[in-house]
Structure 1
Amino acid sequence: MTENVRLAPGDAAPDFSLPTADGGTLHLSDLRGKKVVLYAYPAAMTPGCTTQACDFRDSLASLTAKGYAVVGISPDAPAKLAKFVERDAITFPLVSDQDKAVLTSYGAFGEKKNYGKVVQGVIRSTFVIDEKGQIEHAFYNVKATGHVAKLRRDLKLD
């Protein structure tokens, strides 16, 4: 299995401009001055990804109160993301990385094990980016269930 690129604290967060579920474009650089939680997930409207998105949605007010913006990124098309937002009342931006270039630059796309087989896919990951655009934390291979609660503990928000 080939080792994927991995970001570490202190690395510059790769900048991006990606289409959003609402038809706009989100530029990571536009969020400078805020802390950003960027989380990568495999596919909208699947059970694990729905659980994770709803956990972020339900924690959004407390994250925002501590200065964090939340952004979800997946290879889904904007139209699918729009359905996800509508179906599950997602209240933070979801961005589409259909060519997976941004996911790859974050080390969140590549070889992974799935049911014992090596496959190419999205590696469920979360990145905490500081106000200057530097990686503060990079969490790879996170679990969909319970991850937001663990993240809140790791960031000492609870």
Structure 2
Amino acid sequence: MANFNLNINGKTQQIDVDTATPMLWVLREHLNLVGTKYGCGISQCGSCTIHVSGVAVRSCQLPVSSVGNQSVTTIEGLSEKGDHPVQKAWLEHDVPQCGYCQSGQIMNASAFLKNNPNPTDEEIDAAMNGNICRCGTYTRIKKAIKTAAKSENA
């Protein structure tokens, strides 16, 4: 067990866990931030995606000990009122069906758009590849990303 001071959604959180504990479980079980979902547990589906220093990362395989002083943003911290351009575009295009993967999809898309505010269809496909949607809402996801990219605040 080790004591960690983590910067989660702009707040310092003190946690005492095993150094190998994946961030997914730190977030869900110790900090009650349950928007980040468990999907496959092997970093292949993307439902556990968070931002670490602005980069989309799969939290199910990210040991808490590797985070250090980096800032961590979860879906709960993406915007205070759920009005991030990607979140607004998701609603506009009625993207979620079952909704399970959507926090990971949104986190991946928002990190992608931060670095590529005017993506092509091919760049969107490449960036979102590996974020699996069991319901197959990929067409709506792509439309929402294009809409969010047009927003001034993306």
TM-score (norm. length: structure 2): 0.30
Largest Rg, 1 or 2: 2
Q: Which has the higher contact order (CA 8 A, sep 6+)?
A: 1
**Which one has the bigger strand percentage?**
1
